[in-house]
Amino acid sequence: MATTYKQLVNAVQQRLRQAQTGTVNTTTYSSLLGALVNDAKLQIEQAHFWLGLRETITVTTISGTKTYSLAGTGNDSKINWVYNDTSNWPITRKSYRAIEESYLNTDMSGSTRNFAISSLDSNDDQEVYLYPKPNSVESLKFRVHKAHTPDLVDDTDTISIPKIPIVQLAYAMAIAERGEDGGITSTEQFAVADRFLQDAIALEANTMDEELIWYPD
């Protein structure tokens, strides 16, 4: 079962020897801890290419349309690979300039073979520029790693990455904000949080051995 926003905040409160609250925003202090949890979540998300932040976005082409938005990618997601699921071949990434030059040389229509990141749309999601210009309906699979997810807001919002590194880092932030009170120091706790993060990365890396294998072209 995925860990909720409320559970994360309660886990931090427990370590601070604070009474757990019914909702994240019950008190001013629990709201502060919620903000620290979101800060910690963002830092942990950006520390590794987590499996939970990977997804496949399907783009369905329209004849004559060259540019498409990748919903939910934001301006800092990474496209790992792209596959033309209709024509059954990989799509190669090129620079925007290279694709523009291809269109200047030959304004070709056909099944998509190349793409480039062209811009951001009105939602700050990445737009891709295809070549050749689609002349039929095709299904393109974009395998994307998101750099982060939206802030947790509702008590029942859940995370897609390991829980413990978030809790430990938020706890360290809370100690630093509150000041030392005879327990573990913030410096010591930041070191503990870093060890938990390293362990979580190492454990997940064990499930992705194939990404560490180099294959000649």
pTM here is: 0.83
Burial of 24 (0-12, 13-18, 19+ CB in 10 A): buried
* pLDDT recorded at residue 58: 97
* pLDDT recorded at residue 210: 54
Write the DSSP string, 28-85.
HHHHHHHHHHHHHHHHHHTTS--GGGEEEEEEE--TT--EEE-TT-TTS-EEEEEEET
Q: Domain locations in the chain?
A: 5-46+149-207, 53-145
In the chain (217 residues long), the average pLDDT of successive 10-residue segments reads 94 93 93 98 94 95 96 90 96 95 91 95 94 96 92 97 97 90 85 96 80 46
Separation CA 217–CA 209 (nearest Å): 19
Separation CA 24–CA 155 (nearest Å): 6
* pLDDT recorded at residue 74: 87
| DSSP H or E run through 130 | strand 126-131
The single-letter DSSP state of residue 177 is H
- State how far the alpha carbon of 133 is from the alpha carbons of 91, 99, 108, 196, in Å: 13, 11, 6, 48
* pLDDT recorded at residue 211: 56
Query: For residue 8, which of 162, 147, 146, 150 has the smallest C-alpha distance?
Result: 162
The single-letter DSSP state of residue 150 is P
Query: For residue 151, which of 58, 55, 20, 31 has the smallest C-alpha distance?
Result: 31
